[in-house]
Structures are given as structure tokens and as C-alpha cells.
Amino acid sequence: MPNSELQPKEKILVGIGAAVVAGCRPCTRTLIRAARAAGACERSIKLAVETGLYAGTCATREMAAWAEAEQGAAPELDAAFRGEKEKLVAMVLAGAALAANSTELLGRYLGDAEALDWSKEEIEAALATAHTVARTAAAKVESAAARRGFTLKKVTSAYCAEVEESEAGEPPAAGGCGCGKGTDCG
């Protein structure tokens, strides 16, 4: 009879794939180190990274096809129109980076939005909208798992505890990934 529980090393490798697709660099770094410490070989780590990237790419492609079908006949976006909407694009990019959990891109796009004279209040309103959408999407994913009969238990993990990462980009302290999700990260 097969073991019905994931082994610690397997949990860490699953976490690597999730961290990669979630865009959490500190989580990914910490989990890769933890996988090595747990005895995972470099090929298993590479497989977890590749599989996370594959899942993210598939999700993006599926969403692109769905959004295009949902919009229906879409007009051509020429360079002149894109130029007129440069300011709006900066704000959409900032919101999308927030929803994609990309701290690096978020910083860049917030800087672009500020450079294009969006006010702090306007930027915060856009970020609040994106945050609400991201949280709603996460809740819907959890509901989809529940409809399939799977419960998502909160996991306390030494690999994903809340830790501050320095502005210099130093690795997170032992026992945490720095993603800011506290002990519910996983």
C-alpha cells in the first residue's frame, strides 16, 4: 500500500513549483536551499522549477484564449492609440504586476506611473482594485479545489514564515522566505 502522505522533500519540491509560478523570489530561493538540505538532487529541483514555469505558462495561455473569446471581435491596436494610452498602460501594468506577485515589476511599473504624473491617490486606487481582483481570484481557485473534493489546509512552514528582506537583496534569514504572507504561505 503506497504512503498516503507527502514526504518533507516532496512538499518542498511542490513548494518550489508554486513559488515560481506565484512569482515569489524569496520563497523560491529559500525552498531551493531547503530542498538541497532535505537531500533533493539538482535534477529534481530543476524539474520542480520547470514544472512551475510550465504551469504558469499554460495558465497564461489559457487565460489569453479565454479573454480573447470573451471580448469577441477585437479592434486592432495601432501605435497611435497605444501612444495615447501610455499613461493608462503604466497603471494597468502596475496592477497586473501586483496581481502576479512580482515585486520587481511592480516597483518598475509604479515608478513609470509616477513618472507619468499619476497621483499617489490614483495609484493607490488602482492597486486596491488589483489587490481585490487578485484576492477574489485566489478565493475562486480555492472554491474550485473544494468542488473537486480537495480541502486546502493552512500549513505552518519554516520555509515561508514572514521575514523582512533587506533592500540590498540579501538572502532572507533562516526560517523564512520574506514573501510577507506569514505562516499561511505554502
Q: Give residue 168's pLDDT band: very low, low, confident or very high (50, 70, 90).
A: very low
pLDDT at 174: 38
> What's the CATH number where 178 sits?
1.20.1290
87 and 33 in a common domain: no
Domain assignment of residue 185, yes or no: yes
Q: Is residue 1 part of a domain?
A: no
Residues 40 and 85 in one domain: no
pTM metric for this prediction: 0.75
Q: How far is CA 119 from CA 115, 126, 133, 168, in A?
A: 10, 11, 21, 27
Range of the domain at 102: 75-152
154 has a pLDDT exceeding 90 = no
> Is the same domain home to 68 and 160?
yes
Same domain for 175 and 185, yes or no, is yes
Q: Are residues 133 and 148 in the same domain?
A: yes
Q: How many domains does the chain have?
A: 2
